[in-house]
Amino acid sequence: MTRCAWWLSLILIMLLAVAFGGCAGMQTGQTQSTEDLLSAAGFRMRIPDTPQKMARLQMLTQRQIVAHSWNGKPFYVYADAVNNRLYVGNEAAYQRYQQLAVAQKISQQQYMAAQMNEAAAMDWDMWGPWDPYW
């Protein structure tokens, strides 16, 4: 194997490792963000403390807010069996969660737009001629 091919193989392996690691990290980060919003909105976290509760938690739809009804009153459930948690909220908590989620999405979009504007406004010519062999 030539030296160039060896370097290309190493770079490819590193890129794949970062890509696959990033996907796993995104799921964990996304779940944490959702759970933070649920808590901020007034959802209450419950930890299953019996084998029966744990079995029931695993049967629920995972990592999605699902509407249920009990004694004619609506409530919302977010199950996370991987982290051994159940979040439960009423209608007011669910409405607040939706507001917080929208606000977070707008904030992320504004942040990304600001980053793009900053990059576009950068005067790259002031750094001099570009040398491909730094």
What does the domain layout of the chain look like in residue ranges?
Answer: 31-121
Residue with tokens 């977010």, as numbered in its chain: 78
The packing angle between helices 3-41 and 91-121, to 10°, is 140
As a whole number of angstroms, the distance between CA 11 and CA 2 comes to 14
pLDDT per position as a tens digit, 53-66 = 999 999 999 999 99
Taking residues 75-94, what's their average pLDDT? 96
pLDDT per position as a tens digit, 20-50 = 554 444 445 566 889 999 999 999 999 999 9
As a whole number of angstroms, the distance between CA 29 and CA 11 comes to 26
Q: What is the DSSP letter of 22?
A: H
Encoded tokens for 20: 């696959």
What is the pLDDT, as a whole number, of residue 44? 97
Predicted TM-score of the model (pTM): 0.62
CB atoms within 10 A of CB 79: 23
Encoded tokens for 115: 């980053």
pLDDT per position as a tens digit, 89-112 = 999 999 999 999 999 988 788 878
